[in-house]
Amino acid sequence: MQPVDIEGILCGGENPLVWIAGPCVIESHDLTLRIAEFLKRTSEELNIPLIFKASFDKANRTSGKSFRGPGLESGLRTLATVKKELGLRVTTDIHEVDQVAAVAEVCDILQIPAFLARQTDLVLSAARTGRVVNVKKGQFMAPWDMKNVAAKMREENNPRLIFTERGSTFGYGNLVNDMRAIPWMQDIGFPVVFDATHSVQTPGSQGSSTGGDRRMVPYLAKAAVAAGCNAIFLETHPNPDKALSDGPNMISLDDLPKLIKTCLRIRDAVKPE
């Protein structure tokens, strides 16, 4: 596997475990900055490479009445502030080809949601920016099918690709994780992120919104580190129960440092001699 350079952060191989963290959605400029400041302090105290994530638009909502975010222009201003004032690398998800160029001006990673992993035009457009592209494996896809995503990236001569495992559909309204997906996707030749937040979702279980069980986040994160993932993706919030999107699946900011420390000990234990 060739490590991917995310503006100075190396992800993959024997490089340190990378953390991608932040709130599900930009609820407000000030709240987002507060969360980013906490994550910046945590990354410095624990000496970990951290990339800040927040969405400017949650396009894949269960209900059309759900909060989606501030939109592209306002959201990118907030992410640009996080990047400039705190020096953090930033990422957000893209849903449409028309969003790609503007997002690439600000973000270090372009994230393609799992529902859109097979959207050829979106993948190719993201690849053409030269930015790192993080494609989440669709809940409906086998791990080895991600080789086709890699082939699309190669068509545009962009090897800066990472994959994310975020669970597979199991019956109705549930997801399960097969940790074999991590080495299987690494065998394609790219680093693999484990998304511990969206893996605990129960899609549509609350009628007009998605539910989940945040108690399972630490268990899955620890298992993924033991299985050899290259990065962990976690959504976090000062008060998840009051969050405007994906609250049932986010962990509290206060609980994050302890989980990181535990995962780092596991990482040390499974390192090759």
Digit-coded pLDDT (tens) for 235-246: 999 999 999 988
Give the domain ranges of the chain.
4-270
pLDDT at position 67 is: 79
Residue 82 buriedness (CB in 10 A; 0-12 / 13-18 / 19+): buried
Give the pLDDT band of residue 54 (cuts 50, 70, 90): very high
Gap between the Cα atoms of 199 and 10, Å rounded: 24
Tell me the mean pLDDT in the region 15-32: 97
SS3 content of the chain, % helix, strand, coil (to 5): 40, 20, 35
pLDDT digits (tens, 9 = 90+) for 152-190: 999 999 999 999 999 999 988 889 999 999 999 999 999
Give the pLDDT band of residue 209 (cuts 50, 70, 90): low
Residue with more model confidence, 113 or 203: 113
pLDDT at position 62 is: 63
Tell me the mean pLDDT in the region 200-207: 70
Which region among 15-19, 141-145, 206-210, 228-232 has the lowest average model confidence (pLDDT)? 206-210
Mean pLDDT score across all residues of the chain: 93
pLDDT digits (tens, 9 = 90+) for 218-229: 999 999 999 999
Gap between the Cα atoms of 236 and 257, Å rounded: 11
Tell me the mean pLDDT in the region 55-60: 84
Give the pLDDT band of residue 40 (cuts 50, 70, 90): very high
Gap between the Cα atoms of 220 and 83, Å rounded: 29
What are residue 21's DSSP bridge partners?
Answer: 52, 234
pLDDT at position 272 is: 77
Gap between the Cα atoms of 179 and 184, Å rounded: 9
Residue with more model confidence, 61 or 174: 174
Residue with more model confidence, 212 or 65: 212
pTM over 0.85? The answer is yes
If you search the block for the tokens 């945040």, which residue do you land on?
214
Tell me the mean pLDDT in the region 132-150: 97
Phi, psi of 121 (to 5 degrees): -60, -40
Which region among 86-95, 109-118, 177-186, 209-218 has the lowest average model confidence (pLDDT)? 209-218
pLDDT at position 211 is: 74
**Domain 4-270, CATH number (from 3.20.20.70, 2.60.40.1180, 3.50.40.10, 3.60.9.10):** 3.20.20.70
